[in-house]
Amino acid sequence: MIDAIDFQLIAAVQAGLPIAARPYAAIAEQLAIAEQDVIERLARLKTQGLIKRWGVVVKHRQLGYRANAMIVMDVPDEWVARVGALISQQACVNLCYQRPRQGDVWPYNLYCMIHGKSREVVLEQWAELRHDCNLCEYPFEVLFSRRCFKQRGALYARPFANGDGPISSLAGESRAEEIKNKLSFGMGFA
C-alpha cells in the first residue's frame, strides 16, 4: 500500500539527495518522519517496483570535465567479454558495454566512455589504455560529444499543475492506473 508520505518521499528524492553527511536524515526532517523510516520506505518502494533503479547522475561538466568521447571498437565476439571486463577496470573509463553490430553500416560491438578536462586529455587516456590493454589490433573510432543534454534521473512524481497535492503522475503512465487502484485516499492523476 502506498500512502501520502510515500508520494512526498518520492517527490523529495527524485530531485536528488541533499549533499550532507546524512542525506536520509535531512529528508526525514523535511517530511517529519524518522531517518530509518525514510530508508525502509525507499527499500519497500524499490521492492514493489515503484522505484525501478537507484543511481547517481554525475554532471561531469560541472566538475570541470569538458570533453567526453565514446570509443567504439570492433572486437571479435569470442573476445568481447574479456576485453570489455579489462577496459571497464581502467580508471579513465566510466562506462563500458557491448552492443550488436549493424552489418557493414556499423561494425562496432564494444563501447566505452572516457571523460577528460580537454580533448587532448581524452585522446591521451585512450592511447594509454589502448596500449596498456593491447587493443591496438582492433578497429576503433573516437566519437566526441558535440553538445550536452540535460542529465537527470527518472521522474516518478510531479505536483499537480496548480502546485497543490503531492503527486499527479507516478512511475509513468503505464503504472498510473495500477497505482491509482492501490490508493486509499482521494488524489487526482494526470
Domain residue spans in the chain? Answer: 4-56+152-182, 64-144
Backbone phi and psi for residue 102, each to the nearest 5 degrees, phi listed first? -120, 65
Backbone phi and psi for residue 43, each to the nearest 5 degrees, phi listed first? -65, -45
CA 141, CA 144: separation in Å to the nearest integer? Answer: 10
- CATH topology (fold) of 64-144: Alpha-Beta Plaits (3.30.70)
* pLDDT for the residue 180: 43
DSSP 145-184: -S----------EE--TTS-SS-SEES-HHHHHHHHHH--
Give the sign of the dihedral formed by CA 59, CA 61, CA 63, CA 65: positive
What is the CATH number that goes with domain 4-56+152-182?
A: 1.10.10
* pLDDT for the residue 133: 92
Let me know the angle formed at the C-alpha of 87 by 86 and 93, rounded to the nearest 5 degrees: 140
Mean pLDDT of 34-61: 85
Read off the pLDDT band of 22 (50, 70, 90).
Answer: very high
The model's pLDDT over 131-189, given as tens digits with 9 standing for 90+, comes to 999 999 999 999 998 876 665 655 656 554 444 444 433 344 444 444 444 443 333 33
